[in-house]
């Protein structure tokens, strides 16, 4: 009788230990699930932050592109103006050196000017040319700075996109592990 009681006590003890072990494993799984869910919440928050940053970068990207295009157009206009001033100055110098025989534009006005007035006009045009050239250099410098900022914004956008893709892949991987697709059993006909 003792041996039967002893065997049943051992089996009861083993099943009690087995039940405790199973309960501990279930508790451990619950903790892991909770940690994974918290991680998912954090990852979702990070993804939203990265998406906001990407949207901001895209807005900045458009803004810098518009600035760049505006600056390019302004530079083109200023170069045309410089070319026109250079042509005008060349014509004035040519008129001065050929005693006004080559005057075509505003010849009546220029013919009425004295040599001193022509020299003053030439100096004014040369000063304006220098000022315009200085303005073009300044605008070219600003254009260069804006294009650098534009490139920096593009680099930031690429980095943000890469981070978002990585986060997306991590989340997809986690979701696949968390919710695996059921395997199909049975033969195909």
Question: Stretch 41-47: mean pLDDT, rounded?
Answer: 90
Closest CA to 136 of 63, 66, 83: 83
Report residue 99: phi and psi, to 5°.
55, 45
Residue 10: pLDDT band with limits 50, 70, 90 = low
DSSP codes joined into one string, 28-78: HHHHHHHHHHHHHHHHHHHHHHHHHHHHHHHHHHHHHHHHHHHHHHHHHHH
Question: Stretch 121-134: mean pLDDT, rounded?
Answer: 88
pLDDT of residue 189: 45
Domain regions of the chain by residue span: 9-162
Highest mean pLDDT among 11-15, 79-83, 131-135: 131-135
Instruction: Give percent above pLDDT 70 in the chain.
Output: 77
pLDDT of residue 30: 93
Question: Stretch 72-89: mean pLDDT, rounded?
Answer: 83
Question: Does residue 98 carry a pLDDT above 90?
Answer: no
Question: Does residue 32 carry a pLDDT above 90?
Answer: yes
More confident residue, 92 or 132: 132
pLDDT of residue 175: 79
Question: Does residue 48 carry a pLDDT above 80?
Answer: yes
Question: Does residue 104 carry a pLDDT above 80?
Answer: no
Residues in the chain: 189
Q: Span 9-162: which CATH code? A: 1.20.120
More confident residue, 99 or 175: 175
| pTM attached to this predicted model | 0.38
Question: Stretch 95-111: mean pLDDT, rounded?
Answer: 54
Range in 35-44, 46-55, 170-179 the model is least confident about: 170-179
How far apart (Å, rounded) are the C-alpha atoms in residues 46 and 75?
Answer: 42
Q: Tell me, what DSSP letter sits at residue 7?
A: H
Question: Does residue 26 carry a pLDDT above 50?
Answer: yes
Closest CA to 106 of 117, 95, 120: 95
């Amino acid at each position: 009788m003792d041996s039967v009681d002893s065997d049943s006590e051992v089996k009861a003890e083993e099943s009690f230990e087995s039940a405790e072990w199973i309960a501990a494993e279930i508790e451990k799984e619950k903790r892991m699930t909770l940690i994974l869910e918290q991680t998912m919440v954090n990852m979702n928050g990070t993804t939203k932050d990265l998406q906001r940053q990407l949207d901001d970068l895209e807005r900045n990207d458009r803004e810098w592109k518009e600035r760049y295009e505006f600056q390019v157009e302004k530079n083109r206009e200023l170069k045309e103006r410089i070319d026109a001033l250079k042509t005008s100055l060349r014509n004035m110098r040519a008129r001065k050196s050929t005693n006004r025989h080559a005057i075509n534009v505003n010849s009546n006005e220029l013919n009425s000017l004295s040599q001193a007035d022509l020299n003053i006009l030439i100096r004014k045009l040369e000063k304006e040319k220098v000022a315009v050239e200085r303005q073009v250099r300044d605008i070219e410098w600003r254009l260069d700075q804006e294009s650098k900022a534009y490139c920096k914004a593009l680099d930031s956008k690429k980095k943000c996109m890469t981070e978002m893709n990585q986060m997306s892949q991590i989340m997809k991987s986690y979701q696949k592990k968390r919710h695996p697709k059921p395997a199909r059993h049975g033969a195909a006909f």
